[in-house]
Amino acid sequence: MSSADPTATGANTATDDRHQALLEDLTSRLGDAVVGSHIRNGDLWVRIRPDGWLRAAQECKAMSFDYFCYLSGIDWLPHTWPNPKVIEAPGVVDTESSDDGADASPQEAEAGFETDEPSSGEIVTGFAGGDTRFQVLARLYSTVRHIGLTLKADLDDETPSIQTWTGEYPGADWCERETYEMYGFEFVGHPNLVKLYLPGEFEGFPLRKDFPLLAREVKPWPGLVDVELFPDTYQDPAEGA
């Protein structure tokens, strides 16, 4: 996020220096457990080796990262359900040009949903890289230094499991339970790893990309079809001509 005032660029580089220093500090503490990093727009991403996940929490806590922001997971498998896609009506003009402001007429391109062509199935991971399908990610913040960072770790495709953070950050308790039920990640050492939101007998892991979104399976998104006519232009087909 850049700020509105003209000194924004100066402020941004200053923040990046802070994040660079933080990354160096973390790397010196964790050694080769840091396998990837990324700095962008005043934020820092660090990828940790899975076996160093707990140690990363301990070191971060020692570095005054006292505030536990969140912990969650991500599944990098490409979407398998209908994806948002541009549906172009005939005679469409260039959609990228925005010459006369915001009002696009409905005859022009609409953003809608249509069954996408089958994707290549290739996994594309995000910042700080990744080698596996599943990743766990967590964010910590320091209320003293006012700086935050996102930590990531790769998990095994078949049996995703990682150490728990509940000993260091008690706030991780519920987050890990949620990630466990939504992604099926196991948190080794968690005192009470049971489902948080879903009923106990629920099967499957809803936030995994291969878990179908049933609402869309049953009734596909209508996209352009859903345009409702104004009352004065509407003609009841039953009435006839």
Partner 1 sequence: MAVADQQRISYIASQAADVRLNVELQTEEMTLNLGPQHPATHGTLRIIARLDGEQVVKADVVCGYMHRGYEKLTEVRTYPQITTLINRIDWLSSFANEVPFILAAEDLMEVEAPPRAQWIRTLFFELSRIANITLFIGEMGVQLGAITPVFFAFRDREYVLNLIESATGGRFHPNFDRIGGIKDDLPKGWIAETKDAMRRIRGYCDELEDLLMGNEIFEARTRGVGVIPADVGVSYGLSGANIRASGVDWDLRRDAPSPLAWKELDWKVWTHPDGDSFARYWVRLQETREATLMVDQLLDGLPSGPIQAKVPRIIKVPAGEAWAHTENPLGEMGYYIVSQGGLGPFRVKIRSASFHNISIVPWLLKGVYVPDIITILSSLYFILGDIDR
Interaction site with partner 1 (CB under 8 A): 1-4, 11, 15, 40-43, 45, 66-70, 72, 74-75, 79, 81-86, 95-98, 101-102, 104, 108-109, 111, 113, 124, 126-127, 137, 139, 143, 146, 148, 150, 168-171, 173-174, 182, 196-199, 206-207, 213, 216, 221
Q: Which is nearer to partner 1, 7 or 235 (CB)?
A: 7
> At its nearest, how many Å lie between partner 1 and the CB of residue 159?
22
> At its nearest, how many Å lie between partner 1 and the CB of residue 134?
12
| Exposure b/e, 27-65, CB count within 10 A at least 16 = b | eebbeebbbbbbbeebbbbbbbbbebbbbbbebbeebeb
> At its nearest, how many Å lie between partner 1 and the CB of residue 238?
33
Q: Which is nearer to partner 1, 12 or 27 (CB)?
A: 12
Residue written as token pair 């079809």: 225
Structure tokens at 213: 């979104």
| Helices 8-30 and 53-62: angle between axes, nearest 10 degrees | 120
8 Å CB contact between 75 and 183: yes
> At its nearest, how many Å lie between partner 1 and the CB of residue 67?
5
Q: Which is nearer to partner 1, 5 or 232 (CB)?
A: 5
> At its nearest, how many Å lie between partner 1 and the CB of residue 241?
37
> At its nearest, how many Å lie between partner 1 and the CB of residue 123?
11
Sign of CA dihedral 78, 49, 169, 190: positive
Determine the Cα–Cα distance for residues 100 and 194; give it in Å rounded to an integer.
54
CA distances from 97 to 90, 104, 109 (A): 17, 11, 12
> At its nearest, how many Å lie between partner 1 and the CB of residue 35?
17
Q: Which is nearer to partner 1, 28 or 93 (CB)?
A: 93
Q: Which is nearer to partner 1, 11 or 28 (CB)?
A: 11
8 Å CB contact between 42 and 15: yes
Determine the Cα–Cα distance for residues 111 and 89; give it in Å rounded to an integer.
11
Q: Which is nearer to partner 1, 27 or 142 (CB)?
A: 142
Determine the Cα–Cα distance for residues 75 and 20; give it in Å rounded to an integer.
28
Amino acid identity of residue 175, one-letter, is C
Q: Which is nearer to partner 1, 31 or 174 (CB)?
A: 174
